[in-house]
Amino acid sequence: MFKPVKSKVDLVKLENNILEFWKNNKIFQKSLKNREGSKKFIFYEGPPTANAKPGVHHVLARSFKDIFSRYQTMKGYYVPRKGGWDTHGLPVELEIEKKLGVNSKKEIEEIGIKRFSELCKQSVFEYVEDWVKLTDRIGFWLDMSDAYYTFTNNYIETVWWILKQIYDKDLLYEGYKVVTYCPRCGTPLSSHEVAQGYKEVEDPSVYVKFKLKYEDSNFLVWTTTPWTLLSNVALAVNSDEDYVEISKNNEKLILAKTLLNEVIKEPYEIIKKLKGKVLIGKRYEPLFNYTNIKNNCYFVVDANFVSLKEGTGIVHIAPAFGVDDMNLAREKDLPIIQLVDESGEIKSQAVDFAGLFVKEADPKIIKNLKQRKILFKEEKILHSYPHCWRCDTPLLYYARKSWFIATSKIKDKLLKSNSEINWYPDHIKYGRFGNWLENNIDWSLSRERYWGTPLPIWEDNSGHKICIGSFKELKDLAKDFPDKFDPHRPYIDEIKLICPQCKEEMSRVKEVIDCWFDSGSMPYAQLHYPFENYEKFYNNFPADFICEALDQTRGWFYTMMAISTILFEKSSYKNVVCLGLINDKHGRRMSKSRGNTVDPWSVLNKQGADALRWYLFTSSSPWVNKNFDVDIINEIIKKFILTLWNSYSFFVVYANIDKFNPEKYSIKFEERSVLDKWILSELNQTIATVDKSLNNYAATRGGKEIEQFVDKLSNWYIRRSRRRFWKSEEDKDKISAYLTLYECLVTIAKLLAPYMPFISEEIYQNLVFSISKDSLMSVHLADFPVSEEKLIDKDLMEEMNIVRKVVSMGRAARNKASIKVRQPLPYIKVFKTEQTEKLINYEVVIKDELNVKSFELTPDLKQILNYKVKPNLELLGPKYGSKISLIKNILERMNHQEIANIVLANEKVKIKLEEQEEELLPEEILIEIVAPSEHITEKEGEIALTLNTVLSKELLDEGFIRELVRLIQNQRKKAGFRIENTIKTIIECSEDKEVVIKEHKDYLCTETLTTELIFSDKLSGYIEEFNIDKKKVRVGISVSGSIT
RNA sequence: GGGCUUAUAGCUCAGUGGGUUAGAGCGCAUCCCUGAUAAGGAUGAGGUCCCUGGUUCGACCCCAGGUAAGCCCA
């Protein structure tokens, strides 16, 4: 006996029970153990930062990580799944700053780096529990008990080792460069961090006049960052371009010719045209005089980066605040003026603006220029500008000393690594990611912060540097090495080394490193390679599969690949699935400030993890952004999960009534019915498609395939097979139906296991494990189903499609005639064609579905339909004018059948109009299909059929009985009787109906499981009154026994 | 400004190596079926397949240009 299954199901409760089962029986561990020693399928967990609660988008990533891992496990691979947590870096520091209510590095240092680091370390555990709970609840099997944490000594030691490799390859260097710098956090950011924070903002757009030194004229210069004007040292033009000098309001201005009309809207007069190169070397008066620098500045230089697409074609150069500017300054030996301090405030030298944050200084500077009448015009511009990805402060391009990895030097290797990766979707490979690599710039590695992996470089006063690659190396060189070693700041800073070259004391540089370097090091650091697990590492590298959201293209996907390329000249992953974003139901990005975030628990506690997972897997391609709406989850439950559940529950209900045990029987495929062969053919086809899809990371495709199969199983196979389960004798056909349905359900459970691990487990448990004690105890320990190609019968499936098509057309015909299906009709005739001739094998199905007495194929189309032709008045009217009524009459009298055939062959129809031969075009004649009298006809494409609608007394009586049976069935249900209960039925009705009922007594009794049928006006039991064909019938039913 | 992606029914999405009438689900309306079903079936309303041009006998599909949205970069 199977565990009884109700048609109603509490999915959340079910899932919690399964979680319990997995936990108690260590199924995850068993599923790993099961495959130990098999071929490996390597998965890497991209470590989340657990310093906030996980959201729906995390469920997305974790579900996709899970599905392919489960699938590969079922395919026989050993798939270790080590968890990991990203614990360092600005995101963590920022949370602590918020908690402490501080807002600058100065304040942090007042509190003390020691305390600050401690707090950071504590906070990384704060939400790990939330993450573990969620991970667990959604059924993502991940080994979190053995997770790697990026702050641990072992992890850091590996990272140091990697840095040392890079240092030894001469790819790690310190440079004075313009970096993107967050003035609030007081640190440069790497380009992949900058990439996270572009925002549309309004900035000033000002045109400033720079007066020439020895001429009465002005250079017109455009900028969107007035604060950089304080540090101006030169102007740049493009020497090949055309410039003009114009006169306007008695003032002379120089600017690019092509931009003239863009910039100057008022009347002006062109004084002369001049090439850019004539301007080079011309000197101008500095705008401000806050420095003493006088040499080699305040003149026009040539620069090929000067664009004539916007501005004035004359660019102001402030080497401290632009990459191009800095390069130009190097090239031309221009001085660098730096009037902004590390917190983004104007230095005291610039007395008029001292202490102002640069963006606040903007309006004051504009006002100053205005007063001095050197501001030409002032506008606003809307453009995207980078902001700090965590604290939202506008970033500054700012010249600083900082550490870089020379990734641009290994660009070709990066491109080669990329060429070996399979991207899903594949356009990322040479699109977004490939382009990014093509334009690779050096990795800005250092962060002037506190909580992170310290940069392991020590230097002395003589400029000697040393990069430490292991703790042992550090200990050997250290003056003093503590017993309890913590590589974090501030402790690490206290360790001084003796310079091996000059024996001077060495101190560590103050920087920590980009936390993305930490996570990119996980393939090695999670195993403490090369200090431990040397062999294990090589068996775990590279990953077969990783999966994160699209925003990691330039984050983790990049850092993982960059590091592995430097170390091993190949990518650390072979296949990567990029996931899209999850928006709210209106397509807006979810954000806390908007208040439109969805707490995954609200779905998990109400609709369950399987439904949510199914939505994420099947709603659309994973990389397409999704608009998340909980109503869609409800639809999935109604449409798919419950359909499956009810198919399953149907099986269990009847199998239990019949005490059917699938282990006791076997019936050869050849001996099963057509319907069985058909569904098994569909099943094997589905297995093949799902297997192929999951193997190609196409979960969506596979899911849709399963959905379609379940629909066929429920709405055709089971519907058509119901009676086979109901009949009382235990013949081969019944067993065959049981075996077939059983096989389908068990196979679906296995196909679904990677998608919906809970419900598939529930079904498997009951259908397989509960009856067969030598079976595996979990569906997740099972092998993935293998498609039996020889059972796939394309012809059979096509035939069944036509059967369903004919049935559907037959229903449409009944509908047109408004004759309900319960009312039997004499016959259906189908036009015999190559397509339909096989229908004769499905006579029973068609007759039953359409409730007709006989089925016939006829090659004589006239028996099914006649054509009627009419003139197309819209076209013929204008052509023939008043003669149209004649044409109408002529057509009427001609042979409609023949004309229709001519028109259908798309040929012209000849008619005689007033002794004249006229030709009518095919489109000028309309064809109607007319059914033979007392018939209803349907035609679709090549398929044509007709239903006879003549109702004899016998047929009407049968209709009456079927109506009565249905009503009694409903009555049984309402009365709460069990399906297997037999009943006593008492009927009170008119005499003529009594005769009819007696005639069909056997049918009625069998259908309703009536063991005793009595005609009487003394009703008892559960009583109902019906009105059938305007005749009153009263029925009382009571339980008399049970068939089991 | 550049790159990538997307644009198909009110909503969520399929689709085609270029070929009669472009599909599904949800929602809506009418009708039907039902002792597994919270299901199912039929019919109907609802489409400029984003726009413009090109290639072609034929374009939702291919090409070019544009528009809008999203992501990424300068």
pLDDT digits (tens, 9 = 90+) for A767-780: 999 888 788 999 99
Strand partners, A379: A205
Residue nearest to nucleotide B34 (CA to C1'): A966
Please report, to the nearest 10 degrees, the dihedral formed by the alpha carbons of residues A476, A482, A488, A489 taken in order.
-110
* Any strand B atom closer than 7 Å to A1010 CB: no
Q: Give the pLDDT confidence of A752-770 residue by residue, as tens digits.
A: 999 999 999 999 999 999 8
Helix (H, G, I), strand (E, B) or coil at A465: strand
Residue A724 contacts residue A735 (beta carbons within 8 Å): no
Report pLDDT for A907.
Answer: 67
Task: Name the pLDDT band for A544 (thresholds 50, 70, 90).
Answer: very high
Mean pLDDT of A518-526: 95
| A636/B42 CA-to-C1' distance in Å | 24
Whether residue A589 is predicted with pLDDT greater than 90 in this model: the reply is no
Residue A866 CA and nucleotide B22 C1' are separated, in Å, by 30
Which pLDDT score, from 0 to 100, does residue A877 have? 65
Task: Using only the alpha carbons of chain A, give its radius of gyration.
Answer: 41
Q: Which residue is nearest to nucleotide B35 (CA to C1')?
A: A969
Task: Specify the 3-state DSSP secondary structure of A379.
Answer: strand
Task: For residues A73 and A553, give the distance between their C-alpha atoms in angstroms, rounded to a whole number.
Answer: 27
Query: Which nucleotide in the DNA or RNA is closest to residue A644, CA to C1'?
Result: B37
Per-residue pLDDT for A876 more than 70? Answer: no
Q: How much is the pLDDT for A595?
A: 67
Identify the band that residue A781 occupies on the pLDDT scale cut at 50, 70 and 90.
very high
Q: How confident is the model at residue A195 (pLDDT cuts 50, 70, 90)?
A: low
Q: Give the CA-to-C1' distance from A701 to B38 in angstroms.
A: 27
Strands A143-149 and A82-85: parallel
Range scoring the smallest mean pLDDT among A42-56, A574-588, A986-1000: A574-588
- pTM for the whole structure: 0.82
Q: Which residues contact A507 (CB under 8 A, 6 or more apart)?
A: A458, A459, A460, A493, A496
pLDDT band at A927 (very low <50, low <70, confident <90, very high): low
Strand, coil or helix: what is A86?
strand
Token representation of residue A424: 């899903």
Spacing of A907 CA from B56 C1' in Å: 25
Give yes or no for residue A692 having a pLDDT over 80.
yes
**Through-space separation of residue A621 CA and nucleotide B27 C1' in angstroms:** 24
Burial of A486 (0-12, 13-18, 19+ CB in 10 A): middle
Mention every residue, 6+ apart, whose C-beta is less than 8 A from residue A242: A256, A257, A258, A273, A274, A275, A276
- What single-letter amino acid sits at A869? V
The answer to whether the C-beta of A387 is closer than 7 A to strand B is no
Query: In Å, what is the separation between the CA of A502 and the C1' of B25?
Result: 77
A636, pLDDT greater than 90: no
Tokens standing for residue A293: 């620098």
Q: Which nucleotide is nearest to A554 (CA to C1')?
A: B72
pLDDT at A49: 84
C1’ B50 / CA A586, Å: 19
pLDDT higher than 80, residue A600: yes
A415: pLDDT strictly greater than 70? yes
pLDDT at A192 over 60: no
Positions of strand B less than 7 angstroms from a protein CB: 1, 3-6, 11-14, 21, 25-26, 31-43, 69-74
Q: Is the pLDDT of residue A664 over 70?
A: yes
Residue at the smallest CA–C1' distance to nucleotide B13: A620
pLDDT at A426: 84
- What mean pLDDT do residues A515-528 have? 94
Question: Per-residue pLDDT tens for A676-688?
Answer: 998 999 999 899 9
From CA A402, how far away is CA A444, in angstroms rounded? 7
In three-state form (DSSP H/G/I as H, E/B as E, the rest C), the secondary structure along A253-298 is EEEEHHHHHHHCCCCCEEEEEEEHHHHCCCEECCCCCCCCCCCCCC
Q: Which amino acid is at A342?
A: E
**CA atoms of A35 and A79, how far apart (whole Å):** 8
Nucleotide nearest to A322 (CA to C1'): B74
Greatest mean pLDDT among A80-94, A152-166, A682-696, A989-1003: A152-166
Percent of chain A at pLDDT > 90 equals 31
Q: Is the pLDDT of residue A286 over 60?
A: yes
Asked if residues A757 and A28 have their Cβ atoms less than 8 Å apart, the reply is: no
- Count Cα neighbours of A481 within 13 Å in the Cβ-side half-sphere: 12
Distance from residue A440's CA to nucleotide B10's C1', rounded to whole Å: 46
Q: Is the pLDDT of residue A539 over 70?
A: yes
Rounded to whole angstroms, how far apart are CA atoms A245 and A278?
Answer: 12
* Among A23-27, A501-505, A626-630, A880-884, the range of highest mean pLDDT: A23-27
pLDDT of A210 higher than 70: yes
User: Could you tell me if residue A145 is left (phi over 0), alpha (psi between -120 and 50 degrees) or otherwise beta?
Assistant: alpha
In the prediction, which pLDDT does A113 show?
93
Q: How far: A845 CA to B22 C1' (Å)?
A: 31
Task: Please name the residue ranges forming H helices in A539-673.
Answer: 556-568, 600-604, 609-618, 630-636, 642-657
Residue A1042 Cβ under 7 A from any strand B atom: no
ipTM: 0.85
| Per-position b or e across A708-740, b if 16+ CB within 10 A of its CB | ebbebbbebbbebbeebbbeeeeeebbbbbbbb
Token pair belonging to A1007? 């259908």
What is the distance between the alpha carbons of residues A749 and A96, in angstroms, rounded to a whole number?
A: 47
Split at pLDDT 50, 70, 90, the class of A32 is very high
Between residue 152 and residue 191 of chain A, the positions with Cβ below 7 Å from nucleic chain B are 191
Question: Is A982 (CB) below 7 Å from strand B?
Answer: no
Separation of A52 CA and B44 C1' (Å): 51
pLDDT reported for residue A961: 85
C-alpha A684: how far from chain center: 28
Biggest distance spanned by C-alpha atoms of chain A: 125
Do A171 and A562 form a contact (C-beta atoms < 8 A)?
A: no
Most confident of A46-60, A324-338, A781-795: A781-795
For position A156, what pLDDT does the model report?
96
Residue A333 confidence class, pLDDT cut points 50, 70, 90? confident
pLDDT (0 to 100) of residue A1044: 66
Q: What pLDDT is attached to residue A898? A: 73
Q: How many CB atoms lie within 10 A of CB A893?
A: 7
Q: Which residues of chain A between 631 and 690 are close to nucleic strand B, CB under 7 A? A: 632, 635, 638-639, 642-643, 646-647, 649-650, 653
pLDDT band at A329 (very low <50, low <70, confident <90, very high): confident
Nucleotide nearest to A966 (CA to C1'): B34
Question: What span, in angstroms and rounded, lies between the C-alpha atoms of A561 and A521?
Answer: 10
Residue A667 has pLDDT above 80, yes or no: yes
DSSP A1003-1031: HHHHHHTEEEEEE-S---SEEEEEEETTE
Q: How far apart are CA A28 and CA A79, in angstroms?
A: 11
- pLDDT at residue A873 in the model: 63
| A672-677 long-range Cβ contacts below 8 angstroms, 24+ apart | A672/A736, A672/A739, A672/A740, A673/A733, A673/A736, A673/A737, A674/A796, A674/A841, A674/A842, A675/A717, A675/A720, A675/A721, A675/A845, A676/A736, A676/A737, A676/A740, A677/A791, A677/A793, A677/A796
Which nucleotide is closest to A397, CA to C1'?
Answer: B74
Residue A470 has pLDDT above 60, yes or no: yes
Which window residues (256-315, chain A) lie with Cβ within 7 Å of strand B? 309
Distance, Å, A708 CA → B23 C1': 15
pLDDT digits 0-9 by tens, A250-285: 889 998 887 777 778 788 888 888 888 888 889 999
DSSP A773: T
A558 touches strand B (CB under 7 A): no
Nearest nucleic acid nucleotide to A619, CA to C1' distance: B13
List the Cα angle A45/A50/A56 in 5-degree steps. Answer: 80
